[in-house]
Amino acid sequence: MSADNSKNEVLISVRDLAKHYKGDIHALDGISTDIRKGEVVVVIGPSGSGKSTFLRSLNLLEHPTSGTITFEGIDITSPDNDINKYRQKMGMVFQHFNLFPHLTILENMTLAPKKLLKMSKSDAEEKALELLKKVALEDRAQAYPSQLSGGQKQRIAIVRALCMSPDVLLFDEPTSALDPEMVGEVLDVMKDLAKSGMTMVVVTHEMGFAREVGSRVIFMDAGQIIEEGTPEEIFDHPKNERLQTFLAKVL
């Protein structure tokens, strides 16, 4: 795998990332990894392993205690760099969707492009409608989030992030809050995105998705990366004992 990936430039470089809470709790304990352009990195691990904290650190929703995150050559952990500028290029999809309930679907999608990218209303709406068509929700443009099902909300959340034309999309357990019958429609959108070459970092419990779509799988436990590799390496030939135990429980 490394032969193929080394051709692609590094998008996010994480070095010695640590997050300590009071009472000597190490949510992250020295994480180092590179995320390359076009990769779909799937992060798995037992609950409390720090995988969500790791993901949320990538756009500094969690402030790491130490270590650096370099995004497109810029150290975004440095207070000298305006994180708001870089977050525009790092889309994020949350477990609980977090659509804005006081705005219509179209307004949800066009708010950030209009205010932050200074797009005109018509340009922003045109782009939003195009994306809505891709997730087959163009007829819901004028609806409010409360009128949608969970699966629809999450598809909207994905295209809302896409409206900013991000260079990477971060998924924080995007299907965990969904009814089982709605998981598929969201995973399908994510698969299409992966195929289109979008760089993605996905924290998930969907092992099928990890195996099928992931270009690399990271297994975390106790705030550390225990093992990483291709889906075949991780799922078919796990070396570490903790990974073997974990897989025995979830597969």
Partner 1 sequence: MLNHLAAYRTALSVSSWFSEMKDRLYTNFIAEDRYMYLLKGLWMTLRITFLAVLLGIALGVVAAIVRSTHDKTIADMRPGFGKILLKILDALVKLYLTVIRGTPVVVQLMITYYIIFASSTNQMLVAVLAFGINSGAYVAEIIRSGIMSIDNGQFEAGRSLGFNYIQTMIYIIIPQAIKNVLPALANEFIVLIKETSVSGYVGIQDLTRGGDVIRSRTFDAFPPLLAVAGIYLIIVIFFSKMVSILERRLRNSER
The answer to whether the beta carbons of residues 56 and 172 sit under 8 Å apart is: yes
Does residue 169 interact with partner 1 by CB under 8 A?
Answer: no
Q: How many residues bind partner 1 (CB under 8 A)?
A: 28
CA dist 114 → 90, 110, 119, 145, 164 (Å):
17, 6, 5, 20, 10
Does residue 164 interact with partner 1 by CB under 8 A?
Answer: yes
* CA atoms of 13 and 85, how far apart (whole Å): 18
* CA atoms of 161 and 128, how far apart (whole Å): 10
Does residue 115 interact with partner 1 by CB under 8 A?
Answer: yes
Does residue 222 interact with partner 1 by CB under 8 A?
Answer: no
Which of 94, 171, 219, 246 is close enough to bind partner 1 by CB under 8 A? 94
Does residue 96 interact with partner 1 by CB under 8 A?
Answer: yes
The answer to whether the beta carbons of residues 27 and 63 sit under 8 Å apart is: no
Shortest distance (Å) from residue 237 CB to partner 1: 36
Q: Which stretch in 46-54, 81-89, 213-221, 224-232 sits in contact with partner 1 by CB under 8 A?
A: 81-89
Q: Which stretch in 4-12, 108-116, 132-140, 192-200 sits in contact with partner 1 by CB under 8 A?
A: 108-116
Six token digits for residue 14: 């994480």
Does residue 21 interact with partner 1 by CB under 8 A?
Answer: no
**Interhelix angle 105-116/121-134, nearest 10 degrees:** 130
What's the burial of 155, exposed, middle or buried (CB within 10 Å: 0-12/13-18/19+)?
buried
Q: Which is nearer to partner 1, 116 or 136 (CB)?
A: 116
Which of 135, 161, 213, 218 is close enough to bind partner 1 by CB under 8 A? 161
Shortest distance (Å) from residue 229 CB to partner 1: 29
The answer to whether the beta carbons of residues 112 and 124 sit under 8 Å apart is: no
Which of 73, 79, 80, 241 is close enough to bind partner 1 by CB under 8 A? 79
Phi, psi of 55 (to 5 degrees): -60, -45
Does residue 182 interact with partner 1 by CB under 8 A?
Answer: no
Q: Which is nearer to partner 1, 115 or 239 (CB)?
A: 115
Q: Which stretch in 24-32, 109-117, 190-198, 213-221 sits in contact with partner 1 by CB under 8 A?
A: 109-117
Q: Which residues of 79-117 are buried (b: 16+ CB within 10 A; e: fewer)?
A: eeeebeebbbebbbbbbebebeeeebbbbbbbebbbeee
Does residue 147 interact with partner 1 by CB under 8 A?
Answer: yes
What's the burial of 190, exposed, middle or buried (CB within 10 Å: 0-12/13-18/19+)?
buried
Instruction: Give contact residues for partner 1 (rule: CB under 8 A).
Output: 59, 61, 63, 79, 84-85, 87-88, 90-92, 94, 96, 98-102, 111-112, 115-116, 144, 146-147, 160-161, 164
